């Protein structure tokens, strides 16, 4: 039995989709089964909350390998720790853990990188065999600009002229599924990226071509970005964590070249930005509400 947590999220949902119809039983831990969106004869649903001990015991029972993911939040290491403890108690032999590029519990300049380092620490200290997935920035983050792209033809951010190595979260999920299926990935840490690094100016140019209209990138100060995040309803801690992450990339503290991980592990090329934009063209043309479902905000 394989367990997928975070199964309604960007990456967990993709892990589940990759495992659908495979000759292996899979369990999805979800808070709300109506949000799952993936169904197959080999997938069973375990409804529950990671903060609830009984839910965790039920979800991890009889599991050989588990995919751990949670939302980007100050509590993500706590969520992972709870899962790791439940996995250990249930005798789970392997974990595939969604972390992020730059994970480092000792780094001083970006608390989100510390949180990711603390996530990785939970498995290291438990002594369970683990595969760490360290993706770069998800293309899905760009959907948060869909409304301003649709209405003003603008992406605005404090991103300066630095290069960002995006990856489609579904490619991260595809790597995660392979790591769950194949125990030889245990003990590895994978930097999961798309196939190129782009400035936001270049992102805007690519989007312009796909959407058939001019999209401009406008550089704004961190303080202006803070105001926009405040207006979106994000909490103060998430706003500062997000600004720090952006600054870490803009100032090249996180500076990751594309890797071959997606191709090597899944056998497929990672999705390009153009492919992503084409798939989500309607959203970029018509806009989408900026919705903060919890304390989560783009990185």
Ligand X SMILES: NC(=O)c1ccc[n+]([C@@H]2O[C@H](COP(=O)([O-])OP(=O)(O)OC[C@H]3O[C@@H](n4cnc5c(N)ncnc54)[C@H](OP(=O)(O)O)[C@@H]3O)[C@@H](O)[C@H]2O)c1
Site for ligand X in 161-180 (CB under 6 A): 169
| Number of residues near ligand X (by CB under 6 A) | 29
Shortest spacing between CB 206 and ligand X, in angstroms:
18
Give the SS3 label for residue 65: strand
Instruction: Check if the beta carbon of residue 247 is closer than 8 Å to that of residue 222.
Output: yes
For the record, the structure tokens of 208 come out as 């312009």
Residue identified by tokens 């119809």 is 21
Q: Which is nearer to ligand X, 133 or 211 (CB)?
A: 133
Residue 12 engages ligand X in binding (rule: CB under 6 A):
yes
Stretch that binds ligand X, among 49-57, 59-67, 221-229, 263-271 (CB under 6 A): 49-57
Q: Which stretch binds ligand X (CB under 6 A): 57-65, 137-145, 179-187, 250-258?
A: 137-145
- Is residue 270 part of the contact set for ligand X (CB under 6 A)? no
Among residues 100 and 211, whose Cβ is nearest to ligand X?
A: 100
For 157, the 3-state DSSP assignment is strand
- Applying CB under 6 A, among 137, 164, 246, 284 the residue interacting with ligand X is 137
What CA–CA distance (Å, rounded) separates 252 from 254?
A: 5
Q: In whole angstroms, what is the distance from residue 173 CA to residue 261 CA?
A: 12
Q: Find the helix or strand (DSSP H, E) in which 263 lies.
A: helix 261-266
Of the candidate spans 3-11, 201-209, 213-221, 264-272, the one that interacts with ligand X by CB under 6 A turns out to be 3-11
- Can you read off the two tokens belonging to residue 27? 């369990």
Q: Which stretch binds ligand X (CB under 6 A): 5-13, 230-238, 259-267, 277-285?
A: 5-13
Please, which residue, 31 or 206, has the CB nearer to ligand X? 31
49 lies in the binding site for ligand X (CB under 6 A):
yes
In degrees, to the nearest 5, what angle opens at C-alpha 76 toward C-alphas 73 and 81?
170
Contact stretch for ligand X (CB under 6 A) within 9-17, 20-28, 246-254, 279-287: 9-17
SS3 236: helix
The residue among 177, 180, 186, 175 whose CA lies nearest residue 130 is: 186
Cβ atoms of residues 270 and 197 within 8 Å: no
In the complex, the residues that contact ligand X under the rule CB under 6 A are 6-12, 31-32, 35, 49-51, 69-72, 76, 79, 98, 100, 116, 135, 137-138, 141, 169, 296, 299
């Amino acid at each position: 039995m394989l367990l997928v947590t975070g199964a309604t999220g960007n990456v967990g949902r993709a892990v589940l989709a990759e495992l659908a119809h495979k000759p292996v039983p899979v369990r999805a831990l979800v808070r709300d089964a109506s949000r799952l969106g993936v169904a197959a004869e080999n997938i069973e649903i375990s409804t529950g909350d990671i903060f609830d001990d009984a839910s965790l015991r039920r979800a991890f029972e009889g599991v050989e390998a588990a995919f751990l993911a949670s939302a980007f939040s100050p509590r993500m290491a706590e969520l992972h720790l709870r899962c790791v403890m439940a996995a250990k108690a249930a005798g789970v032999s392997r974990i595939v853990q969604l972390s992020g590029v730059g994970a480092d519990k000792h780094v001083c300049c970006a608390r989100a990188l510390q949180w990711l380092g603390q996530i990785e620490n939970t498995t290291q200290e438990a002594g369970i065999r683990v595969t760490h997935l360290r993706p770069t920035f998800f293309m899905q983050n760009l959907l948060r600009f869909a409304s301003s792209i649709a209405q003003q033809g603008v992406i605005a951010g404090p991103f300066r002229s630095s290069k960002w190595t995006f990856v489609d979260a579904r490619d991260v999920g595809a790597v995660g599924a392979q790591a769950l299926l194949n125990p030889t990935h245990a003990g590895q840490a994978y930097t999961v990226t798309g196939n190129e690094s782009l400035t936001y100016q270049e992102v805007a140019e690519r989007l312009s071509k796909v959407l058939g209209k001019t999209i401009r990138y406008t550089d704004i100060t961190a303080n202006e970005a803070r105001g926009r995040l405040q207006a979106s309803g994000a909490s103060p801690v998430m706003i500062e964590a997000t600004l720090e992450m952006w600054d870490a990339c803009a100032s090249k503290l996180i500076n990751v070249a594309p890797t071959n991980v997606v191709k090597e592990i899944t056998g497929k090329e990672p999705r390009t930005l153009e492919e992503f934009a084409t798939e989500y063209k309607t959203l970029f043309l018509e806009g989408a509400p900026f919705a903060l479902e919890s304390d989560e905000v783009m990185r």
